Amino acid sequence: MRFKQTLMAASMAAAFMLGGCATTATAPKSTEVKWPNLIVHLHGGKGMAYLVDPATDTVVAALETEKQNAALGTTTPDGRKVYVGAEGEGGTTVTVIDLEKRAVVAKVKTGNRPKHPLASPNGKLVMVNHWGLDNGKLRVAFIDTATDQVVKNIDLDVAGQPAGPTSMHNAWSYDSRYAFTVDRVDDHFVIIDTSDWSVKKIKMPSKPHYPVPSPDGKEVWLVVEGKDRDQNYPGAFVYKIGSFEQVAWVKMPVIGQGAIEGHHGNFSQDGKYFFMLNRGPGSSLVGTEVTVIDAATKKFVKRTETVSTGIGHTYNSPDGRYAVVTNYGNNWVSIIDLAQDFKVVKDLNIGKGRMGHIAFTKDGRFGYLSNAADGNLHKIDMQTLSYVKEIKTGDANGGTQVLNVWTNVFEELPR
């Protein structure tokens, strides 16, 4: 499919393009990305962001975001700002938090129900997809982090009628040239070239959910939810970045699963393996299977069953040894040891509701988990794999993401 050109000012192209043909750029190294000395807990139910000092485990600032379920955000690579989308009905703005000032410094109107802001690896742009249509089109907005102004809107034509979320998650190529997102109205993988703002769409056989660039910068894996167990499995389509030729179609086996729906995927910290998770659909959040794929050969390695249900994420620990499985179904988290043949080595029962996200301290000693029902943070010791304490943040139903350092996808960390 040919790239469809869109109009733009020549000055804008010069400002953001990297020049020439696409280059292969590996994931930023940990020395290139600054870890803030704060843990940020977003509470979509209250429309708040709680800043927690991990040195004392105390809330040092409680900041208003938006009441329309400001649930997901991104940290800039320099560790200075966090951008939070208001994905709920009536939401139109992205809240900008300055972590040094510990204050909200801007509210940026981007479109109908901004879903998942994501900062580019070079820190210049924040891409924002949307859960609602703008004038019948699906918008992807780009915010300039220097000015906190929208510098480009890409409004995608859609033929179908929205049925559920119109988009989901985003990612960037590591050279910051290509912005990856999904159109779930017509089921397309969407690739935006920020050097000239051209757009490429690739049709998917089921709902696209999660694009994941490989750490070496050569491939992008797109997790699709799937429709059945026979011909349209959940799994991942793999494309070569640049030409976007299909490299592979990697299926999840989903053996013995009562319900199926592919959710997220991510690479291990060393880039050798790709994890895919069967969550189950929203009506039946009972999936328990983590599929391990060899990233080089695209071959199946192992299935790992968890006590955690409705599993959504396998968060990498900073040292790359563990994957912490968080979920949509219960208040158990399962910890997988990559050094022990991907075995679950610990199950922790935490809080009152599902465990959605985790953020780690830079040294990897502690993790901070968000609980949706009690709305608080829960600290675990990654050395002893034990529960430490509850930290009162939202203290009410509606807790959402916890984050600190910049990541391209939720589950991976600077390498």
- Buried residues in 126-154 as b, exposed as e (16+ CB within 10 A): bbbbbbbbbeebbbbbbbbbeebebbbbb
Host H or E run for residue 16? helix 10-16
- The per-residue pLDDT for 336 is 98
Question: Mean pLDDT over residues 340-347, rounded?
Answer: 98
- The residue type at 43: H
Question: Mean pLDDT over residues 369-377, rounded?
Answer: 97
Measured CA to CA, the distance from residue 259 to residue 309 in angstroms comes to: 11
- The per-residue pLDDT for 162 is 87
- The per-residue pLDDT for 128 is 98
Host H or E run for residue 322? strand 322-327
Bridge-based pairing of strands 273-278 and 289-294 is antiparallel
* Digit-coded pLDDT (tens) for 116-169: 999 999 999 999 999 999 999 999 999 999 999 999 999 999 998 888 899 999
Phi, psi torsion values for 233, nearest 5 degrees = -65, 155
| 3-state class (DSSP) for residue 59 | strand
Measured CA to CA, the distance from residue 404 to residue 358 in angstroms comes to: 10
> Considering the chain, what percentage of its residues have pLDDT values greater than 70?
94
* Digit-coded pLDDT (tens) for 344-368: 999 999 999 999 999 999 999 999 9
Measured CA to CA, the distance from residue 182 to residue 175 in angstroms comes to: 20
Mean pLDDT of all residues in the chain? 94
Domains of the chain from N-terminus onward: 10-32+156-403 (2.130.10.10)
- The per-residue pLDDT for 23 is 52
What angle is formed at CA 166 by the lines to CA 114 and CA 71, rounded to 5 degrees? 35
* Digit-coded pLDDT (tens) for 70-88: 999 999 999 999 999 999 9
Measured CA to CA, the distance from residue 190 to residue 399 in angstroms comes to: 30
What angle is formed at CA 211 by the lines to CA 208 and CA 214, rounded to 5 degrees? 145
* Digit-coded pLDDT (tens) for 12-69: 444 444 433 445 789 988 889 999 999 999 999 999 999 999 999 999 999 999 999 9
3-state secondary structure 153-188: EEEEECCCCCCCCCCCCCEECCCCCEEEEEECCCCE
> Considering the chain, what percentage of its residues have pLDDT values greater than 90?
89
* Digit-coded pLDDT (tens) for 172-203: 999 999 999 999 999 999 999 999 999 999 99
Is pLDDT above 80 for 5? no
pTM: 0.94
Is pLDDT above 50 for 274? yes
